[in-house]
Each structure stands twice: as C-alpha cells, then as structure tokens.
C-alpha cells in the first residue's frame, strides 16, 4: 500500500521515479487529496520538478528515441481516403428520385 500524506521530499522522489519510468499519470493518480493540495501550493516542489526534468533529460538524452510518425501518417492517409470514398458513394445515392434511381426510372419510361 502506498504511503499516505507523503512529505514534499518523498513526493519529489516518487515523481522523479515516475518520470524516469514514464508513468507520471500513475504517480498523479496515487496522490491523496491532501498531497495534491500540498503540491499545488508548494513552490519548492515545482522548482524541484524542473530540476528533475532537466537532469532526467540530460541523463537519458543518449537513450531518448524520437517517435516514428510514419505509421500514424499512413493511418491518417487511409482515413482520409476512406472518408473520400464514403462521400463519393453518398453523393451517388442522393441522385435518386422518389425511392428509385434515375436509371430505374429511365428504364421504366423507355428512354434508356
């Protein structure tokens, strides 16, 4: 079970570990209401977090990997293409008159 009502130093230590491990949201969810209030009102904590972020960036700079957005872009392109196809097919369906397509009504009239 997590410590309840941790001190600023303990919170900072836990934050540094969460930042290093990439699980800051888990750290934020672990805060009690009182700890959240303490953090929000503590300038000391915010100053220290800036130092931790800088040290973390310097310490792991050579291991940092930039995300490859190629997969994301291909999915976006596929979504755009899919939406364009859907809009073309929906515009074809709008040309119907009275529940019958124009081709069916022309056949009935004998003009086709």
Residue at token pair 């074809």: 92
Q: What is the mean pLDDT of residues 77-104?
A: 71
Q: How far apart are CA 47 and CA 54, in angstroms?
A: 11
Q: What is the pLDDT of residue 98?
A: 55
pLDDT tens digit sequence for 31-87:
999 998 888 888 888 888 888 888 877 776 666 555 667 777 888 888 888 888 888
Q: How far apart are CA 91 and CA 11, in angstroms?
A: 58
In degrees, to the nearest 5, what angle opens at C-alpha 72 toward C-alphas 68 and 73? 100
Burial of 15 (0-12, 13-18, 19+ CB in 10 A): buried
Tell me the pTM. Answer: 0.48
Write down the domain spans for the chain.
8-63
Q: What is the pLDDT of residue 1?
A: 42
């Amino acid at each position: 079970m997590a410590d309840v009502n941790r001190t600023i130093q303990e919170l900072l230590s836990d934050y540094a570990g969460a930042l290093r491990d990439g699980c800051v949201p888990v750290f934020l969810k672990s805060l009690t209401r009182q700890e959240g209030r303490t953090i929000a009102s503590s300038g000391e904590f915010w100053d220290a977090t800036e130092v931790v972020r800088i040290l973390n960036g310097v310490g792991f700079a050579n291991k940092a990997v930039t995300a490859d957005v190629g997969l994301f872009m291909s999915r976006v392109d596929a979504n755009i293409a899919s939406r364009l196809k859907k809009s073309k097919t929906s515009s074809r369906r709008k040309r119907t008159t009275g529940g019958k397509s124009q081709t069916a009504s022309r056949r009935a009239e004998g003009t086709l």
